[in-house]
Structure 1
Amino acid sequence: MDVSFDYFLQQMTSNPALAITTLLTLGVIFVNGWTDAPNAIATCVTTRCMRVRSAVIMAAVLNFLGVLVMTRINASVASTISTMVDFGGNANEALIALCAALFSIVVYSVGASLLGIPTSESHSLIAGLSGAAIAIHGSVEGINMGEWVKVLYGLAASLLIGFGMGWLVCKAVTLVCARLDRRRTNGFFTYAQIAGAAAMSFMHGAQDGQKFIGVLFLGMAFANGQSGVAGVVIPVWLMVMCSVIMGVGTSVGGERIIKSVGMDMVRLEKYQGFSADLSSALCLLVMTVLGIPVSTTHTKTSAIMGVGAVRRLSAINFGVVRDMMLTWVFTFPGCGIISYAMARLFMIMF
């Protein structure tokens, strides 16, 4: 399989399906940087450690580096996404079905973000790919249940681990700083939280960037007439291209989502914001190294809940938590149905 940039450009001009797949994938990466980046920097902004624009610029740069660096070190998340479903032996139909899956992700993510609700592109991606695979096979035979279940376990584990680590880190910080001067510790945690938000932004790029690199790489394989990407190394130019698009998407920002995640759920102080950022970044690091795709939104919001629970459970605005959980629950059938319908329609049209 030729993965050179020159060959990719030739395929783009001669294969409309690959061109559409590439544009849709880059669109999803852009939307992901736009909607998920605020989750990474929300606590840093709402505790007034950084101004919104400065935080967005920092997140854009570190999202870029996260995609590029982590994919070079460990691309197992991209590999998991690439093998999660089987689109069959017909490469042309597979490429059409992949277009439908990506279309469903863009529609759902943009709609949710316009309402100011944090979205989970991880859920959307899994649902979209699964719906398209079911459409092309006419059954669930196209789903690799071993990989699919591993992804679901990862999403559930990120919620529990995020909450647990948030509680443990915040509790430890509270005990260590109990006898220290409050003004001095606030000064320290201002800079510590900036570092934590930087780490969270880096890991967001590392996790979510790899997911969509895996999808675009799969589209390249279909355009080459192959049914998979087993044994093929992801080219550097693809990592750079996806990194740039995510960075640009991040620079757009999203103040409504910052408010929803960082202010409405739990009223945080600086040490709490640091605890949430550090614990969620560590959780994402562990999952990325293990090759398990997880939701950065899941991880960050559950960490914030854990931090709030240290003080008291009533500190958590469970109304906001409920709304986000309902959004996550609806993502699977929503994206799955859209993807299934669009895949069937595209296969009839093309």
Structure 2
Amino acid sequence: MVSLLIAVVVAAVVFDYINGFHDAANAIATVVSTGVLPLRTAVIIAAIFNFVGATTGTAVATTIATGFADAEIVDQTVVLSALLGASAWNLITWWYGIPSSSSHALIGGLAGAVVAHAGAGAFHWATLVKKVLVPLVVSPTLGFVAAFFLMVALLWVVRRARPGTVHRASRRLQLVSACMMAFSHGSNDAQKAMGIITLALVAFVANGGAGVPEWMMPVGDEVPRWVIYTCATAIALGTAAGGRRIIKTMGTKIIRISPLQGFAAETAGAATILVASHAGVPVSTTHVINACIMGVGASNRISAVRWGVATNIVIAWVLTLPLSAAMAFVIELVISRLLA
């Protein structure tokens, strides 16, 4: 039983690492595509701020650990299957350069694994609606609107300034906004892996497990400190590995973005994500920043956004939950049969 728990922790750390390089583009796509920073410098800065952001709270981790399924009906095969299903979907979308949601992949994987293990009634669908499906619509919409109006306001402020002055100032501001975006990404996304490890630890105890040092176990809903720093390190290292394929999609294929637009998109995105993190809502940072990029593009003119690319991204958003759930469902059945 301990060996299976170790496998779950390793899988969670691997998922967190994959999340890092899959979602590195969330923080740095605009700052790289506008030429403000070279890719390697950008990912290192993003990795540092991802780590710092990941250590600032655990509200989202608590939602993941306690909100979607009761620990008494979850075993290690369920958590392992959820992680493997989510990781598989992340790797598929990364390979094709599609900026899908790691968060929704994990939650979808958890739903599929729980249903395969204990039936549809074992999963908390009301929490899925409240904490995932509603924010799936609300958070990108808020990001789009915030970015749109922030961009309009910025254009009004600089309307009489020389283009060269605006360009130079925008490049400096974008350094700040990119750091803010990386910080907010860590504050939300790293907590998903923290929550899934905490769920595994609680389930281990609830199912009569023993042999794990007491300092490693959670007290109530509290996320152990070793889990926080392990996940923060994993997502930072993954971010440092980069994500060139998705950076290209987000930074150049949706719109051709300028430094001022990049600053507006990142600022609006960071603000939206930080509010969600504080509220314990596991939003998709990918969805938010993509919507913000579309928002700044639409503030110029609607045709500035390449809506064909945007439509493909939205399709990936819609498919992430059910397909990651289906993968985890099958994986859980296979693992359970192998261990029977």
Pairwise TM-score range, normalised by the shorter structure: over 0.9
1:37 CA drift (Å): 1.1
Match of 1:46? Answer: 33
What residue number does 1:349 align with?
A: 338
The answer to whether the Cα contact below 8 Å between 1:85 and 1:133 also exists between their aligned partners in 2 is: no
Q: Is 1:64 aligned to 2:51, yes or no?
A: yes
| Distance of 2:136 and 2:183 partners within structure 1 | 19
Residue among 112, 115, 128 paired with 2:96: 115
RMSD over aligned Cα atoms: 1.7
- 1:291-333 alpha-carbon deviations (Å, 9 max, x no partner): 1110011000000001001110000011111111111122122
- SS state of the match for residue 89, structure 1? helix
Which residue number corresponds to residue 83 of structure 1?
66
Deviation at 1:231, TM superposition (A): 2.9
In structure 2, the gaps of 5 or more residues are: 209-216
Residue 284 (structure 1) aligned to one of 273, 280, 289: 273
1:23 partner letter:
V
* Post-superposition offset of 1:188: 1.0
Measured in 1, the distance between the counterparts of 2:182 and 2:45 equals 8
Q: Which amino acid aligns with 2:61?
A: A
Equivalent positions of 1:326-337 (< 5 A) are 326-337=315-326
Q: Displacement, 1:233? A: 1.7
Deviation, 1:226, is 5.3
Tell me how far apart the structure 2 counterparts of residues 124 and 90 of structure 1 sit (CA, whole Å): 21
Map 1:92-111; keep pairs closer than 5 Å.
Answer: 94-111=75-92
CA distance in 1 between partners of 2:13 and 2:175 (Å): 29
Give the CA deviation at 1:282. 0.4
Change (3 A) 1:281 1:123: same
The aligned amino acid for 2:72 is G
Work out the number of aligned pairs and report it: 330
- Equivalent residue in structure 2 for 1:142, among 97, 101, 122: 122
d(CA) in 1 for partners of 2:321, 2:31 = 30
For residues 134 and 155 of structure 2, the distance between their equivalents in structure 1, rounded to whole angstroms, comes to: 31
SS state at 2:41 partner: helix
CA distance in structure 1 between the partners assigned to 2:285 and 2:179 by the alignment: 14
1:215 to 178, 196, 202: 196
- Tell me how far 1:119 sits from its aligned partner: 2.0
Give the TM-score normalised by the residue count of structure 2: 0.93
More deviation in 231-240 or 331-340? 231-240
Q: Percent identity?
A: 32
Distance 2:256 2:199 in 1: 42
Structure 1 distance, partners of 2:63, 2:160, is: 47
Alignment of 1:158 with 2:139, yes or no, is yes
User: Equivalents in 2 of 1:121, 1:209: separation in Å?
Assistant: 10
Q: Report the Cα offset of residue 252 of structure 1.
A: 0.6
CA shift digits 1:99-146 (9 cap, x unpaired): 1111101111111111111121111011101111111122x2112133
Q: Could you state the TM-score of these two structures normalised by the residue count of structure 1?
A: 0.91
Alignment of 1:26 onto 2:13: yes
